[in-house]
Structure 1
Amino acid sequence: MRCPLRRVERRFGRPTDLSHALSSASAMLLAAPFRSTHSVINIIGNGPDNVNEDPLAARDVAFGLGFTINGVVLGNDPDVIDNFRQDVAGGPASFVTHVPSGDVIAEVFRRKFLKDIVVGSADGSEPEPDH
């Protein structure tokens, strides 16, 4: 049996549904059993949204819910990096980074996750003492 996604890819190219990814991530954060003072959605992709609506509406909803959206672009395409900066990333201390090649992906993700953690805890307040 042929995979329906493969037929779509042959006809339209590889789908990148950033708006759905943002909406799904927002729903997951809202359904989480515990709240955080800094909730982050990480969108990783190699192209602009080419499936449904552009991601601006979903990004604005996520931003309105208090979520930060960071982007990781796979590749060096300046148009895609700019698209992620303009239409995907948003919220307090949001950022977009890119993975120029597969051999540095682990290092890029390590730096990205450290930045998520540091920014998430760097609100200017002193940490609560453990009692």
Structure 2
Amino acid sequence: MFDALLLACLACAHPIASPPAPLAVDVELVLAVDISLSMDEKEFALQRAGYVEALRHPDFIQAVRSGNTGRIALAYFEWAGTVRDDAIISWQIIDSAESANSFADKVAARPFRSFRGTSISTALGFGAGLFDRADFTGERSVIDISGDGPNNIGPPVTAMRDAATAQGIVINGLPILISPSPTFKHLDQYYAQCVTGGPGSFVLPIYAAAEFSTAIRRKLILEVSGIQDKAGVIPVDADAPIDCLQGERDKRFFSDPYLPELDR
């Protein structure tokens, strides 16, 4: 009995420490970047340079530092018909020029490569899952997804969008229309109606190569700051509804050369 009381007193004197609270950040931001074969080498180079330049830019760093906590959490991955394990840059705190440049260095060091298929839905599902791996607590959770074509593999894109937004995740889009498909000319409205969602979500299309760097920088600043500056952003045109399954239907119609390649 005495031993039990002694142990109880010792436990009272030395309580077990609580785990540290998750680090607070202004936003948890996932960059999901299209590397499908429909992106030519020039577009790849422009897209990569755009992200690297945006991450290094003083205006982006100032936007980060101006938040309530003065820091964000950032993750990056590349996708096509699927997401491969070696295509991910894990979560990193961005709170200074040094940390922003460190992340930009990791993006710049990635090899140029592409593979087949365009599964926006898989990218959204993977991006949503990354928030479960984050050791942070953010005021906002945002997926920033870029691409140059509609979903043509995997679950319907609207189902994955709705699942993500139901978790409180905001999805913003950067559709690339430098070389638009002759069979799918309204990628901006497709992103607006079928891909993006959540409070304050927006679509910022790129129509010319010269717009890449400034558009990506502006998009990141809007996402980090939460500013609702929508000049140049595509509104959803409810009077011109888009077929959110057109990409899947077109692919079946023109045959499917991609699926055998996805698991290689």
TM over 0.5: yes
Q: TM-score range by the shorter chain?
A: 0.7 to 0.9
Distance, in Å, in 2 between the alignment partners of 1:59 and 1:73 is: 16
Pairing 1:104–2:211 present:
yes
Distance, in Å, in 2 between the alignment partners of 1:47 and 1:102 is: 16
Matched position secondary structure for 1:70: strand
Structure 1 position 16, deviation (Å): 1.0
Distance, in Å, in 2 between the alignment partners of 1:30 and 1:64 is: 14
Query: What residue in structure 1 maps to residue 223 of structure 2?
Result: 116
| Aligned residue type for 1:30 | D
The partner residue of 2:127 within 25, 37, 62 is: 25
| Aligned residue type for 2:187 | V
Q: Tell me, which stretches of 5 or more residues in structure 2 are unaligned? A: 1-35, 38-80, 82-115, 228-264
TM-score for both structures, normalised by structure 1: 0.77
RMSD: 2.4
By percentage of residues, which structure has more strand? 2
TM-score for both structures, normalised by structure 2: 0.39
Query: What residue in structure 2 maps to residue 47 of structure 1?
Result: 149
Identity of aligned residues (%): 31
| Aligned residue type for 1:15 | G
Matches within 5 A, 1:1-131: 14-75=116-177, 77=180, 78-119=185-226
By percentage of residues, which structure has more helix? 1
Matched position secondary structure for 2:136: coil
Aligned residues: 112
Could you list the structure 1 runs, at least 4 aligned residues long, displaced by more than 3 angstroms after superposition.
none
Matched position secondary structure for 2:175: strand
Matched position secondary structure for 1:85: helix
Q: 1:106-131 CA distances to partner (integer Å, 9 max, x unpaired)?
A: 000111011112217xxxxxxxxxxx
Q: Tell me, which stretches of 5 or more residues in structure 1 are unaligned? A: 121-131
Structure number with larger C-alpha Rg: 2
Distance, in Å, in 2 between the alignment partners of 1:47 and 1:54 is: 14
Structure 1 position 53, deviation (Å): 2.3
Distance, in Å, in 2 between the alignment partners of 1:23 and 1:117 is: 22
| Aligned residue type for 1:46 | D
Distance, in Å, in 2 between the alignment partners of 1:28 and 1:117 is: 18
Distance, in Å, in 1 between the alignment partners of 2:138 and 2:199 is: 14
Distance, in Å, in 2 between the alignment partners of 1:36 and 1:110 is: 21
Distance, in Å, in 2 between the alignment partners of 1:34 and 1:119 is: 18
Distance, in Å, in 1 between the alignment partners of 2:142 and 2:209 is: 24
